[in-house]
Amino acid sequence: MKVLAFIFLLGLSNYQTNKEKSIDQWVNEIVNDMIQLNNLEKYSLRYIPSGTNIDFILVDAVKNVQIHNSSISMLIDHGSGTYCSKLKFKYVQIGESFRLVFAPPTLNFIAGKKVKYVTPWTEKKRLCQ
């Protein structure tokens, strides 16, 4: 009976460990979605109302990913072979999951129309000319 209880607990703990994502796995998913030009809305802490555009950035490669104090930073290569942008993201952990804290919405005028945008990153710095 003790053996069966042990096997059950071992299986349960293995299932729970496999179910939970580490922060590194989660950040890799975000990077892969950015490279594939996928919308990052699914990572947002807050609901994004319809009619709000989610900004994106052309990403060919990423390096120097740093995760520290609820912040993620990375260098971005846009396809030129040089890493010319640095992005910073804020995230929160809720239970066993993680969520990005998008920057506050902004209004831009495109072709004479007001367009509401949110960016998944909190800071974008250009490093090259």
**85's tokens:** 């942008």
pLDDT over threshold 90, residue 102 = yes
**94's tokens:** 């809720």
The pTM of this model reads 0.79
Ordered by start, the domain boundaries in the chain are: 22-126
Average the pLDDT over 86-97 and give the result.
96
pLDDT over threshold 60, residue 5 = no
Environment class of residue 84 by beta-carbon count within 10 Å: exposed (0-12), middle (13-18) or buried (19+)?
A: middle
pLDDT at site 10: 42
pLDDT over threshold 70, residue 16 = no
Mean pLDDT estimate for the chain? 86
pLDDT tier for residue 20 given thresholds of 50, 70 and 90:
low
Those residues whose C-beta lies under 8 Å from the C-beta of residue 35, and which sit 6 or more positions away, are 59, 60, 61, 62
pLDDT at site 96: 92
More confident residue, 1 or 49: 49
Average the pLDDT over 82-86 and give the result.
95
